[in-house]
């Protein structure tokens, strides 16, 4: 029924396009603008493929986030994750402004280059490479003054919790060779429906499903003051955080009545997760428990032993309420490792083996591995292209990766 409603909405939107004349011509090709990012103006998910199909698979990438940088040679350039064979659209990060090839940019041999009179925003080489930890701190007065709303002192790199970095991000939609992603280690999240058999069975049979999410600001719905998505920083296109996107994706794919309890809290580590578990985790009887801690643990002195013990305590607490509850452990994305932070001894990649141990030791426990995925992604893309704050809060492009990888656990 839900898919039917989405289909009817899509048909209505198409009809409106024919009547009113939607712009379906991208700056270098054609792009069907039924929606620009999968969601309609009312926030309904109507085009799953644009929002949550794995953007690295297939031959079309929608709205990849890129940032143009003025290099030391004076050229202002950007590259995409894969080499485009056809450019369909180049827009600003709100998806409201379209840029025109030949007017705002040129494209050749995998490189986008801004024209002399381009209206596309950019950073300079010194700005994006500012790194107090490595002693690279050269900024001209003009470059410093240009970083309105961006701080370089707190973490030793560009940082903001507002839209100042997002305002210089662009969204590029393009076609590429379908096998490009196979060269990316970490882009291989596997189906784990066998470990989530009860939840998956209920979804496929249209039975009610109760889901409990527990994590930090990346999981919390539009956490005030964070940039967990464009909605989280109050900026168009108001794309939801991954937790809301996961709920939307499940509702799109299945006809079950899905109830989600999101207990994500900004700034929390697993320590707070255990400390405040009473009155939170012990009041629900979920079919599925999703644990998404780790981003703050690695930077706040939580040891690997404590991390494992804390996660196990959370699992035990939930299974004390429902012994049959299935579990997904979300291995967090890597953060910007250039930031200056007092506790850098533990990296997020160190937490992944701990989660793998927990999955082995606890039955019906799956892993969504965003750690390996992000490590592979960051070998090609920069942190200011993947995080709104250039530290750890995902942009919409990264939010989509979270949801896609979560859905790969269920969808073959």
**Packing angle of the helix pair 242-253, 396-408 (nearest 10 deg):** 50
Q: Which conformational region is residue 63 in: left (phi greater than 0), alpha (psi within -120 to 50 degrees), or beta? A: left
The residue behind tokens 């991390």 is 307
| Collapsed DSSP state (helix, strand, coil) of residue 402 | helix
Helix or strand run (H / E) with residue 90: strand 86-92
Q: List the pLDDT tens digit at each of the 412 positions of the chain.
A: 555 555 444 444 444 443 343 443 444 444 556 899 999 999 999 999 999 999 999 999 999 999 999 999 999 999 999 999 999 999 999 999 999 999 999 999 999 999 999 999 999 999 999 999 888 899 999 999 999 999 999 999 999 999 999 999 999 999 999 999 998 989 999 999 999 999 999 999 999 999 999 999 999 985 554 558 999 899 999 999 999 999 999 999 999 999 999 999 999 999 999 999 999 999 999 999 999 999 999 888 899 999 999 999 999 999 999 999 999 999 999 999 888 876 655 678 899 999 999 999 999 999 999 999 999 999 999 999 999 999 999 999 999 999 999 999 999 8
| Collapsed DSSP state (helix, strand, coil) of residue 126 | helix
Answer yes or no: are the C-beta atoms of 221 and 241 closer than 8 Å: yes
CA distance 368 to 405: 6
Strand partners, 173: 89
Q: What is the pLDDT of residue 17?
A: 44
CA distance 231 to 241: 7
Q: What is the pLDDT of residue 342?
A: 67
**How far is CA 324 from each of CA 208, 212, 247, 284, 348, rounded to the nearest angstrom?**
15, 14, 21, 13, 29
CA-nearest of 40, 5, 4 to 22 is: 40
| Collapsed DSSP state (helix, strand, coil) of residue 9 | helix
CATH architecture of residue range(s) 184-408: 3-Layer(aba) Sandwich (3.40)
DSSP annotation string for 209-269:
EEEEEEESTTTSTT-TT--SSTTTTT-TT-PPPHHHHHHHHHHHH--S-EEEEE---TT--
Q: What is the pLDDT of residue 34?
A: 83
| Collapsed DSSP state (helix, strand, coil) of residue 172 | strand
Task: Enumerate the domain spans of the chain.
Answer: 184-408
CA distance 138 to 144: 10
**How far is CA 378 from each of CA 157, 173, 187, 337, 367, rounded to the nearest angstrom?**
16, 19, 12, 11, 20
CA distance 176 to 142: 38
CA distance 146 to 32: 36
Count how many residues are written for the chain: 412
Q: What is the pLDDT of residue 337?
A: 83
Rg (CA), the chain: 21
DSSP assigned state of 49: H
**How far is CA 149 from each of CA 163, 224, 369, 389, rounded to the nearest angstrom?**
8, 17, 33, 11
Answer yes or no: are the C-beta atoms of 139 and 128 closer than 8 Å: no
CA-nearest of 175, 186, 173, 126 to 373 is: 186
Answer yes or no: are the C-beta atoms of 105 and 99 closer than 8 Å: yes
Joined together, the tokens standing for residue 218 give 């990346």
């Amino acid at each position: 029924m839900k898919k039917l409603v989405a289909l009817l909405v899509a048909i209505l939107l198409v009809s409106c396009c024919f009547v009113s004349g939607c712009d379906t011509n991208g700056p270098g090709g054609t792009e069907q603008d039924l929606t620009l990012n999968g969601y309609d103006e009312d926030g309904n998910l109507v085009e799953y493929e644009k929002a949550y199909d794995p953007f690295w698979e297939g031959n079309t990438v929608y709205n990849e986030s890129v940032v143009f940088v003025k290099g030391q040679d004076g050229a202002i350039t950007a590259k995409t994750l894969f080499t485009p064979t056809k450019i369909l659209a180049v827009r600003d990060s709100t998806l409201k402004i379209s840029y025109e090839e030949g007017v705002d940019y040129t494209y050749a041999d995998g490189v986008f280059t801004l024209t002399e009179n381009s209206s596309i925003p950019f950073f300079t080489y010194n700005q994006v490479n500012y790194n107090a930890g490595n002693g690279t701190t050269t900024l001209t007065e003009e470059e410093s003054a240009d970083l309105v709303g961006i701080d370089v002192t707190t973490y030793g790199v560009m940082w903001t919790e507002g839209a100042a970095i997002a305002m210089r991000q662009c969204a590029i939609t393009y076609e590429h060779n379908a096998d490009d992603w196979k060269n990316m280690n970490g882009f291989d999240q596997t189906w784990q429906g066998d470990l989530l058999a009860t939840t998956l069975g209920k979804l496929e049979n249209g039975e009610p499903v109760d889901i409990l999410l527990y994590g930090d600001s990346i999981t919390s719905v539009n956490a005030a003051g964070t940039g967990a998505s464009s909605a989280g920083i109050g900026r168009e296109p108001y794309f939801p955080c991954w937790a809301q996107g996961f709920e939307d994706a499940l509702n799109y794919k299945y006809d079950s009545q899905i109830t989600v309890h999101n207990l994500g809290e900004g700034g929390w580590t697993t320590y707070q997760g255990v400390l405040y578990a009473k009155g939170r985790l012990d009041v629900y009887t979920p079919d599925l428990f999703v644990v998404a801690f780790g981003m703050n643990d690695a930077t706040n002195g939580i040891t690997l032993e404590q991390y494992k013990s804390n996660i196990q305590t959370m699992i035990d607490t939930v299974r004390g309420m429902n012994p049959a509850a299935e579990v997904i452990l979300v291995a967090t994305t890597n953060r910007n490792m250039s930031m200056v932070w007092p506790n850098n001894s533990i990296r997020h990649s160190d937490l992944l083996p701990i989660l793998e141990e927990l999955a082995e030791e606890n039955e019906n426990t799956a892993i969504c591995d965003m750690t390996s995925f992000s490590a592979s992604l960051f070998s090609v893309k920069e942190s200011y292209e993947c995080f709104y704050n250039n530290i750890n809060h995902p942009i919409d492009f990264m939010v989509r990766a979270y949801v896609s990888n979560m859905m790969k656990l269920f969808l073959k």
